Amino acid sequence: MPEQQQRSMIEIKNVTRSYGAFKALDDASLTIREGEFFSLLGPSGCGKTTLLRMIAGFDNPTSGSISVGGQPMEGIPANRRPTNMVFQSYAIFPHLNVEQNVAYGLKRLKLQGGEEKRRVEEALAQVSLTGLGKRLATELSGGQRQRVALARALVMRPKVLLLDEPLSALDKKLREQMQVELRRLQQAVGITFVLVTHDQYEALAMSDRIAVMFGGRIAQVASPKEIYQRPVTRQVADFLGGMNFVKAQIVEESGASLVVDTLGFGRIKTDKPKAFVRNGGGATLGIRPERLRVLWDNATAKFEVAGKVVERHYFGEITHLIVEIPGLEKPLSVTETNDFGADDIPVGTSIRLAYDPEALVAMAD
Amino acid sequence: MTAAAEGSPPLRMTRARRNALLQSEPVQGLALISPTFIYALILLVLPILVVIAHSFWTQHYLTIDRTFTLENYRVALTEPIYRDLLWRSLYISLTVSLLTVLLAYPIAYFISFHGGRHKSLWLFLITIPFWTSYLLRVMSWKVILGYNGVLNSGLMGLGIIDEPSTALLYNSSAVIITLTHAWAAFAILPIFVSLEKVDRTLVEAATDLGDGPLRSFLRVTLPLSAPGVISAALIVMIPTVGDYVTPKLVGGKDGVMIANAIQAQFGKASNWPLGAALSVTTMLIVTLMAGATVLIIRAVQRLAR
């Protein structure tokens, strides 16, 4: 697999899509590798669906180029591209039953000797729908429709499977179950999956790599862990969950690192993000709420800050504490699991928080 | 006192029950349709019953013999003239509905898929012919198709024909042309509505699965718009079988239809029972034909999968 993953499957070069003065996609460049689960993540209107539809052939770039499997896609209509799509609404043909839906694309290939039937059954088995072939689309639940859409696309054995927010219509529990199943399926079939989603947890849980997009531009492309832990901009950090932002003064700047002074956390040496643009002497650092730990009783840590609990929010397995730190303009948000009694800390208590300086990352505003 | 006390609880119960009954959905629904229903009952069902009754009676000059007989039906079904008229009416109405649907479908498709922001404007334009009376529209076809009509002068002006053609007016083709034009809007609207309901992502999905524009149309759009096609065909077919004005005005001798014969029996010939038998026969045949059309379109739809 690792060797295979080096080969690129989709090349997106300087793609722009404008509607009049509005740019849905602005000079986006991206390489998606063969056999990887790639997610396009961003808020609505960020251009992620536009990009997916251009890969599928339902839309064309105003400028720039897209190639799939080394073949330039310019001028190739959607019905002749080596891609297949799972639509957000699933687009199950209502006048056909499950089997006929899955066999839809195969009919045209005129397969010989029961090959069509075999492939349909194989695809239905892949999505655990064996035995439901004769059901009408109208008799299926949301999760089942989703599986039919998946089988219908997979049965075509595309080079790339495109998924347009496939889980957004499912309830939370089913969604989480399908995330695991989709990931498992992708690893079993080895096809390149490109997923469009606005749900950061979905992207983090399923992808090999994620591209985070805002306003038609790609902000960062990296593995889920890196995107979460080392977001390059404040926007990316914010979109991927809670983040405490801390203002800092730059003391020293070298090629790859920064030394900064903060009010609450003292002097910190940190990696310099790629997109970092020095804006006077100031910088922004961020630390995730779960990277701050409450120090109980007399416990000590090498790095700690002291403050006072001003708010407490209970979430079942975790508690959110809002802690005011003298010198910091905004109180810190701290996530603590409830196994040690964080849910019993009264508001107004003075506490100390431990942190790892490595968890404080510098980012562009 | 006691009597009232004993009497009031059941009374209150019935009132409560009556209120509940009045507020129930089926009762409210019936209340809503009952004026129309009664109106239809008096003006549609009763006349039909009268007609059916007449069809089993016999006309003796000025009086009607009310003994039961099937003689009128024998005449209606076996007399060559009525058989021919019936066949011609069926042929004309089937041809008209087929042509109308074939011509209306592309228009409805265009408005629905390419109408953009101007859909309602297009639909509005289609209703414009209805601003004038039907008689005027038929008369204008007479002007177009007539001996010295627009079409003949045009063709002569272009040198395609040397003398005016008499083949254009006063035959069944003239009736077909006029009816097809007259009923176009009634076919466009139901087809348009059913095309509007076709989810556009289904067409995209078909394209994504490898279908070109024609294939995706035949495999997705057309089968999903079949309900509109069925209603369009029926809306045109059922009334055109019994059309009376159009054949009278543009049909001439060769374009006479069954309704003209029925009118003659109730009018000049003054043989109500025979006219009634012809009406009932026509009604039954139209019902069968409408049912057959639905079944045929459904079967084609199933085959196309």
Domains defined for chain B, CATH in brackets? 80-303 (1.10.3720.10)
B210 close contact with A: CB closer than 8 A: yes
Residue A283: the pLDDT is 82
pTM of the model: 0.82
Question: Is there a common fold for A2-229 and A234-363?
Answer: no
State pLDDT tens for residues B162-212.
888 888 888 889 999 999 999 999 999 999 999 999 999 999 999 999 999
Per-residue pLDDT at B274 exceeds 50: yes
Total CB pairs under 8 A between chain A and B: 61
- Nearest by CB: B209 against A77, A84, A95: A84
Task: Supply the pLDDT for residue A259.
Answer: 87
Using one digit for the tens of pLDDT, what is the confidence trace for A306-352?
899 999 999 988 999 999 988 888 899 999 988 888 888 889 989 99
The CATH class given to the A2-229 domain equals: alpha beta
Per-residue confidence (pLDDT) for residue B288, from 0 to 100: 92
Closest residue in chain B to residue A58, using alpha carbons only: B204
The residue with greater pLDDT, A172 or A160, is: A160
The full set of domain ranges for chain A reads 2-229, 234-363
**Which among B208, B223, B301 is the nearest to A85, CB-wise?**
B208
Q: Which tens digits make up the pLDDT trace of A39-98?
A: 999 999 899 999 999 999 999 999 999 999 999 999 999 999 999 999 999 999 999 999
Mean confidence (pLDDT) of chain A:
89
Fold of A234-363: OB fold (Dihydrolipoamide Acetyltransferase, E2P) (2.40.50)
Of A79, A83, A85, the CB nearest to B211: A79
pLDDT at B4: 46
B200/chain A closest Cα distance in angstroms: 9
Rounded to the nearest 10°, the torsion over CA A79, A81, A82, A83 is: -70
Interface touch B208/A94, C-beta < 8 Å:
no
pLDDT at B1: 42
Tell if the CB–CB gap between B201 and A108 is shorter than 8 Å.
no
C-alpha to C-alpha distance for A176 and A178, rounded to whole angstroms: 5
The answer to whether A31 and A222 have CB atoms below 8 angstroms apart is no
Taking the CA of residue B208 and the nearest CA in chain A, the distance in Å comes to 5
Give yes or no for B48 touching A (CB within 8 A).
Answer: no
Instruction: For residues B128-144, give the mean pLDDT.
Output: 89
CA angle B172, B174, B179 (to 5 degrees): 95
Rounded to two decimals, the ipTM of the complex is: 0.84
Buried b (16+ CB within 10 A) or exposed e, B212-236: eeebbbebbbbbbbbbbbbbbbbbb
Q: What is the pLDDT of residue B2?
A: 45
Q: Which of A278, A271, A299, A286 is CA-nearest to residue A328?
A: A286
Q: Is A132 exposed, middle or buried (0-12, 13-18, 19+ CB in 10 A)?
A: middle
Partner residue opposite A95 with nearest CB, options B204, B212, B224: B224
CB contact B202 to A (< 8 Å) = yes
Question: Does the beta carbon of B196 lie under 8 angstroms from any beta carbon of chain A?
Answer: no
Residue among A236, A82, A96 at smallest CA distance from A228: A236
**What pLDDT does B5 receive?**
46
- Each residue of A185-195: pLDDT tens digit? 999 999 999 99
pLDDT per position as a tens digit, B28-75: 888 888 899 999 889 999 999 999 999 999 888 788 888 888 889 998
Q: What pLDDT digit, counting tens, does each position of B225-243 carry?
A: 999 999 999 999 999 998 9
Contact B204 A58 (CB under 8 A): yes
Partners of B201 on chain A (C-beta within 8 Å) are: 87, 89, 91
